[in-house]
Structure 1
Amino acid sequence: MRRTVIKVIFVAAVLFATIGHAQAEVRILASPGGQVGPFIELFDRVNASGERVVIDGPCLSACTLVLMMVPTERICVTRRAVLGFHAARSIDRRGRIYAEPEASREVEAAYPTLVREWIARRGGLTSRLLLLRGRELAAIYPRCR
C-alpha cells in the first residue's frame, strides 16, 4: 500500500512559530514540506482560528497547501518568502517513488486562480520544483505590514 508524501519528512520544529494571540498570526519561517496529512490538519486549524498567515521564508511542497486552505485575504508575504511547487508523488514501503498525476491535477485545480495561472505558464506541476518569489509573488499576495 502506498502512502502519499511530498519529498521530505514533516519538520514541526522549524515549520511555524505562532506569535502571541494578541497579534493573531501564524508565521511560516521555513518549511521543506513533507507528508500532506499533517499540513491539511494544521492549515484546517489555522483557517478555523481566523489567524493571519505570514509567509516569511521558504514554504515548499506540501506547505503550499496553505494557499488553498486559508483565505487569500488572510495571507501575506515578506521579502524572504518563497513558495515551491511540484507534482504530487508517493513513496512505497520499499522507498520507490511514484508519480500521482490525478492528485497533482486536483491540487493544482485547488490553488487560487493567480497561482494556478502562474504554474500553468511554467508548464504545470512536474517533478521539477517551481519557485515563486520576489516581484512575481508580491503581485499575487500582499507584502506583510
Structure 2
Amino acid sequence: MKVVTGLLAAVLLMAGIGVSHAVVRISDDRGGRIGTYVDKYQGLRTSGEMVIIDGLCASACTIVLGAVPQNRICVTSRANLGFHAAWDYGSDGRTITNPEATQMLYSMYPARIKRWISHRGGLTPRMIFLRGRELTTMYRPCYLDAQASAHEAPAR
C-alpha cells in the first residue's frame, strides 16, 4: 500500500498538483444559468482546488476559465470548450440573444480566450469549439488519470 500511495503522490507532484489539494473534474457540462456558474466558480476559486477539464464544458461552464487561475486548470485530450452568445426566452417562448448578458459573459474570459473568440466572429448564437492542440497551447495538459484522482463536478 505504501508503494501505491507513494506512486500516486509522485504522479500528482509531477502534474503540479499538491497531494493536499482536491481536484474537480469537468467532463459533460452543457452549461446553464450564468449566475449559477458565477456562484459555483467563485467558491471553486477560493477553495484552491485544481480543475481538470476532461470532456465537454460548454456555455456558462466556460466561465471557469475566468474564475479559476490558469495555473489551476489543466485539460485532457478529451477537453472540448463550447462558446456562444447568452440567450433568454422571448415572450413567444423562442430563444433570443441577450446582448447585455453576452457582454458580461465575454468580459469574464481571460484575454487569450477573448482573442480566440474575436478571431472567430465573437459570441453569436452559433456554438464555436476550442479543443485539441489549439486548447493545449492555452492551458497545460493534464498528465494523470482524471478518473482515479478526481471527483466529478456536478453537470447540469
* TM interval, short-chain normalised: 0.7 to 0.9
Residues 22 and 114 of structure 1, relative CA distance in 2, 3 Å threshold: same
> 2:70 aligned to 55, 72, 94, which one?
72
Instruction: Return the index of the structure with the highest Cα Rg.
Output: 2
What is the alpha-carbon root mean square deviation over aligned residues?
1.6
Alignment of 1:128 onto 2:126 = yes
> 2:21–2:48: 8 Å Cα contact kept in structure 1?
no
Distance in 2 (CA, whole Å) between partners of 1:102 and 1:61 is 15
The structural deviation recorded for 1:68 is 1.1
Structure having greater relative contact order (Cα 8 Å, sep ≥ 6): 2
> 1:139 aligned to 130, 137, 140, which one?
137
The structural deviation recorded for 1:116 is 0.6
TM-score (norm. length: structure 1): 0.80
Distance in 2 (CA, whole Å) between partners of 1:53 and 1:139 is 17
Residues 22 and 93 of structure 1, relative CA distance in 2, 3 Å threshold: farther
Distance in 2 (CA, whole Å) between partners of 1:37 and 1:109 is 14
Aligned to 2:24: 26
Deviations 1:17-47 (A, max 9, x none): xxxx845110001101112222112111111
The structural deviation recorded for 1:98 is 1.9
Distance in 2 (CA, whole Å) between partners of 1:33 and 1:91 is 16
How many matched pairs? 125
TM-score (norm. length: structure 2): 0.75
Aligned to 2:98: 100
Structure 1 gap ranges (5+): 1-20
> 2:57–2:82: 8 Å Cα contact kept in structure 1?
yes
Distance in 1 (CA, whole Å) between partners of 2:107 and 2:38 is 16
Distance in 1 (CA, whole Å) between partners of 2:132 and 2:69 is 21
Distance in 2 (CA, whole Å) between partners of 1:109 and 1:39 is 15
Counterparts in 2 of 1:38-117, with a 5 A limit? 38-92=36-90, 95-117=93-115
Structure with the bigger percentage of helix? 2
Q: Which runs of 4+ in 1 moved over 3 A?
A: none
Distance in 2 (CA, whole Å) between partners of 1:37 and 1:129 is 20
Distance in 2 (CA, whole Å) between partners of 1:127 and 1:57 is 21
Structure 2 gap ranges (5+): 1-18, 144-156
